[in-house]
Amino acid sequence: MIQPDSRPPAFINLSKELEAALIEIGGALPAWDMAGSFLADATLKRYQAQMESVPLVKEVAATLRHALTGEGGGYAVLRLGNLAKALGTDDDRFLRLATAFAAEVAVPFSPFPRWPLWKDIGVKVDKDPGKSSGIGYNAFHMDLVNATRPPDYTTLLCVRPDPLGGGPSILSDPHAAVARLSENSRALLAKSAYHYGTFFDLHGVGEEYKPFPILDGSDPGEGFVRFTAKMLERSELGQAHADAARELAEELVRGQVSFMLQPGDYLIVNQRRFLHGREALRSGQETVPVADRRLLLQMFLRAPTGAGSAA
* 38 inside domain: yes
* 40 inside domain: yes
Q: What pLDDT does 245 receive? A: 96
* Residue ranges of the chain with per-residue pLDDT less than 50: 1-9, 308-311
* 68 inside domain: yes
* 63 inside domain: yes
| Number of domains, the chain | 1
pLDDT digits (tens, 9 = 90+) for 49-102: 999 999 899 999 999 999 999 988 999 999 999 999 999 988 899 999 999 999
pLDDT digits (tens, 9 = 90+) for 214-223: 998 888 778 9
* 210 inside domain: no
* 207 inside domain: no
- CA dist 140 and 284 (Å) reads 24
Structural domain including 73 reads: 11-173+253-302
295 in Cβ contact with 157 (< 8 Å)? no
Q: What pLDDT does 288 receive? A: 97
* 308 inside domain: no
**Domain of 108: which CATH number?**
3.60.130.10
Q: What pLDDT does 304 receive? A: 84
* 195 inside domain: no
Q: What pLDDT does 4 receive? A: 39
36 in Cβ contact with 52 (< 8 Å)? no
The three-state DSSP-derived secondary structure of 10-60 is CEECCCHHHHHHHHHHHCCCCCCCEECCEECHHHHHHHHHHHHCCHHHHHH
